[in-house]
Amino acid sequence: MKKTPLATRFTNQLILVNDQICFASLQHWDTAKRLEALAKDHPKAFSTEVFKDNPYAKAIYRRSEELPSLSRDAQAISLQTGVVASVEYVLAYIQDVQHLREATVPETGEPIFEDAEEEQLRRKIERWQGKPPRSEYFRTLGYFRHLRNHYAHVNETPNKAFRAYIRSYGTPLNTFWDNGVTELHGVDFKTLAASGLTPELAFGIMNLLRVCLRHVDDMVADTVSLIDAVRSIVVQIRSEPRNRHLPHSRLASKATTRLRMDWGREVDASQIQEAMQAVLVRLDA
């Protein structure tokens, strides 16, 4: 797959959150067993008694019999926070990748504005590609944008807009993702918003967010020509004082490396030379 220079940074951030969700789930499962034993054996003892060496026992200051319930609530909030943060990262990517693409390839035509961030990007990609992209990735991101709002606004049930979105896209999204490739961990777009968030469901959401980001990023990268990518790279390289007078061969070598690392493109040396020649003629004119 092709990629933009933003793909690695945002994908890695999603991986970090996913790792934290995994670790928190492991930690909670183990801790829950210990707390249940304490609640059974010393139900009336306060946290300061049973956790004498823990500096945070006083902050909790609850009887042991209350701790398992607090632990379950803490896990629920932790999972929701991880999902909310991850959706925020994807929405930040959507904004940044539009700025990147428009800085790399000057925008033409009337500006496109949509309240829904993912729909705005979808419409722009349609213009850039000259054909509609696969909508399911954007619909999935739209679903999780609604889910983020659902958690962040502490809604007991999905609001009107979210219910309408589920009616329109819940079943098609279930069909689209039932592909035997992406591990969903039980995610059902018809019922997810009304279900208690479990570690397994959070794992599925994180998988879907990463897959959607990579496919959308590939779509954007595919709308950037080799010459436009090379021009962007050459301008970046030359912006560093020490590189302003690099020999052509050294400049080509650096551009080839960045093209592979940042844009995921492997091209023949002759193509690089041809693209660089066209770029340098324009830049030095």
Structural domain includes residue 65: yes
In this structure, the answer to whether residues 163 and 271 fall within a common structural domain is no
Per-residue pLDDT of the chain (285 residues; tens, 9 = 90+): 899 999 999 999 999 999 999 999 999 999 999 999 999 999 999 999 999 999 999 999 999 999 999 999 999 999 999 999 999 999 999 999 999 999 999 888 899 999 999 999 999 999 999 999 999 999 999 999 999 999 999 999 999 999 999 999 999 999 999 998 999 999 999 999 999 999 999 999 999 999 999 999 999 999 999 999 999 999 889 888 887 778 888 888 889 999 999 999 988 888 888 888 888 777 665
111 neighbors 231 (Cβ within 8 angstroms)? no
In this structure, the answer to whether residues 117 and 238 fall within a common structural domain is no
User: Count of domains in the chain?
Assistant: 2
pLDDT at 238: 84
Structural domain includes residue 243: yes
Residue after which a domain boundary falls, among 170, 196, 222: 222
pLDDT at 45: 96
In this structure, the answer to whether residues 51 and 93 fall within a common structural domain is yes
- List the domain range (segments joined by +) for residue 237: 226-283
Structural domain includes residue 1: no
